[in-house]
Amino acid sequence: MSLTDLTLQELSTKLAAREVSAVEATRACLDRIRAVDGQVHAFLRVDEQGALAAAAASDSRRGAGGALSQLEGVPLALKDNLLTEGLETTCASRILGGFIPPYDATVVRLLKDAGAVLLGKTNQDEFAMGSSNETSAFGPCHNPYALDRAPGGSSGGSAAAVAAREAFGALGTDTGGSIRQPAALCNVVGLKPTYGRVSRFGVIAFASSLDQVGPLGRTVADVAALLQFIARHDAQDATSVPATVPDYSAELEAGVAGMRLGLPREYFAGGMDPEVEQAVRDAARAYEQMGATLVEVSLPHTRYALAAYYLIAPAEASSNLARYDGVRYGLRAKGVRGLEELYSRTREEGFGPEVKRRIMLGTYALSAGYYDAYYLKAQKVRTLIRRDFEQALAGVDALLTPTSPVPAFRLGEKVDDPLAMYLMDVFTLPCNLAGLPGLSLPGGFTRAGLPVGLQLLGRPFDEARLLRVARAFEREHPFHARAPQL
Amino acid sequence: MKLTLEQVRHVAHLARLALTPEEEVRAASKLSAILDAVDTLRELDTTDVPPTSHAVLVEALLREDVVKPGLPPEVALANAPAKADTSFVVPKVIE
């Protein structure tokens, strides 16, 4: 067994026991990246020098003794929409080519303060707009379990890096499923925390009322460990919530006996791959055998969530992306006449087709005469969706659903059909509209060997319970241990 | 909802995107299809439903009004495509 096959927690234990040094662990990751990332393309940028320097500094701290964090010396990967001081950050867009952030995102600072080693920046859909990683301006990432298939998106690189054993964990962001859907397609655990649980300061904005940073790991315990360090109130993010941060690992092994798990009727109404549906139903039975009670619940406005999301998210994006104008950073179009042309030529050259499409859609939905019919209407429907969840979750501990309606699809299969691609988020995006925490965990494999993800949704700030429910399944069904053949 | 080329050009102008003629045609068809799909919202009566702008936030949070240093000018300008002294340089606005 190679060092990179260890889970984050196993590595952390070995580092603490000084059986392994941070430099050795980091070199093992860098070697693994060199060996497999030519095929996977999970990384846009590997910071070899920075990672080795951070690892050496970690080993010195270890040598000096004293209490060290669980992340001390652990090599991790970061999605490329998280600002990293001094390290190029592009959001997988040409318009931010060469951009060197002058400061760290709060989550990046928290990981550095915890002593983690940051390996580099992972591939993603451009500005996190996509469900396959194919809108990346720098070429798609490939699913480690089937290289001709998509890893999911938008945090496809983070999920693939963790699955391919290139990093011991990663951070991603989730606006409509961008952590959970790639986690499902790549057989890893991914958590979108409650809106406001994790700071968005220094996270390149897509849709500000939906975006949330979260961890990806190979096990539930690894994800709990990562969440522990990033769940924090941050005065620099006005939407950050000053709620108490519990010990996310304390009740991981407590099981589900006596819990009530809800199965939303509308999520099983058709359109799902039969093998995915079978995996979710098998998981539901497994929970029943572990002592949980299954309850059918209803989320009656589910069928309107996709439409509400594809008005709200593009509207917010069109506003957030107005800042890319060729003046202060990133690309500037050459040979332009006048300021107006500088803006429009820079944006034309810098943004890819999907980003332009969403800017156009959002601009239209916000424009004079259409605001009430589209944006305001969508926000009202958002209220109905939020109420659905409040009612359903009042009677159960968590909801169990599929994460993605299908397993990993072929690269190129949906990229020219925006509506088909948007459907990939149909089970994940209602949770963002309602601001709830959501988790995807490995739920088995199809006959063709493709991973299937299970999704758990919970009440606001109830991440600890989701992790506990996820861990109960993982203990009995360790699908996460099946590594990709690379 | 069928978007006309004229509407596409108007929206592209609002969004400051200099689309090519081919992109305008493609945008008209793909955006029309998306707008048709989102039209399902019209089925819902939302007369007495208040809008949700943020799902979790209950009240505006205020922080202490403490003076902290911002980015020094040379750092703020470090990524600028064109700069002079402590300013960003853009094409002439008024002839």
Annotated catalytic residue A154 = yes
Q: How far is B17 from chain A (nearest CA, A)?
A: 5
CB of A480 closer than 8 Å to CB of A219:
yes
In a domain, B27, yes or no: yes
Q: Could you tell me the end-to-end alpha-carbon distance of chain A, in angstroms, rounded to an integer? A: 15
Report in angstroms the alpha-carbon separations of A289 from A263, A269, A368, A439: 16, 25, 56, 21
Q: For residues A359 and B19, is the Cβ–Cβ distance under 8 A?
A: no
Strand locations in chain B, DSSP E?
83-84, 87-88
CATH of the domain at B15: 1.10.20.60
Chain A and chain B share a number of CB contacts under 8 A equal to: 175
Residues A458, A240: Cα–Cα separation, whole Å: 19
Instruction: Answer whether A435's CB lies under 8 Å from A386's CB.
Output: yes
Number of Cβ within a 10 Å radius of residue A85: 15
Among candidates A384, A340, A378, A339, which has minimal Cα distance to A361? A378
Which residues form the domain of B32? Answer: 5-43
A143, A249 Cβ separation under 8 angstroms? no
* Residue A203 phi, psi (nearest 5): -100, 125
User: Considering the domain A3-254 in this protein, what is its CATH number?
Assistant: 3.90.1300.10
- The residues in B 60-89 lying below 8 A from A, measured between CB atoms, are 60-61, 63-64, 71, 75-76, 78-82, 88
Task: Give B63 to chain A, closest Cα distance, Å.
Answer: 6
Tens digit of pLDDT at every position of chain A (486 positions): 799 999 999 999 999 999 999 999 999 999 999 999 999 999 999 999 999 999 999 999 999 988 899 999 999 999 999 999 999 999 999 999 999 999 999 999 999 999 999 999 999 999 999 999 999 999 999 999 999 999 999 999 999 999 999 999 999 999 999 999 999 999 999 999 999 999 999 999 999 999 999 999 999 999 999 999 999 999 999 899 999 999 999 999 999 999 999 999 999 988 899 999 999 999 999 999 999 999 999 999 999 999 999 999 999 999 999 999 999 999 999 999 999 999 999 999 999 999 999 999 999 999 988 999 999 999 999 999 999 999 999 999 999 999 999 999 999 999 889 999 999 999 999 999 999 999 999 999 999 999 999 999 999 999 999 999 999 999 999 999 999 999
Number of structural domains in chain B: 1
Residue B24 lies in a domain: yes
A404 a catalytic residue: no
Q: Confirm if A79 and A214 have CB atoms less than 8 A apart.
A: no
Nearest alpha carbon to residue A359 among A324, A326, A328: A324
- As a whole number of angstroms, the distance between CA A364 and CA A370 comes to 7
The answer to whether A178 is a known catalytic residue is: yes
Spatial separation of the C-alpha atoms in residues A174 and A389, rounded to whole Å: 19
Minimum-distance CB partner of B41 among A325, A341, A381: A381
Q: Measuring CA to CA, which residue among A33, A68, A75, A67 is closest to residue A169?
A: A75
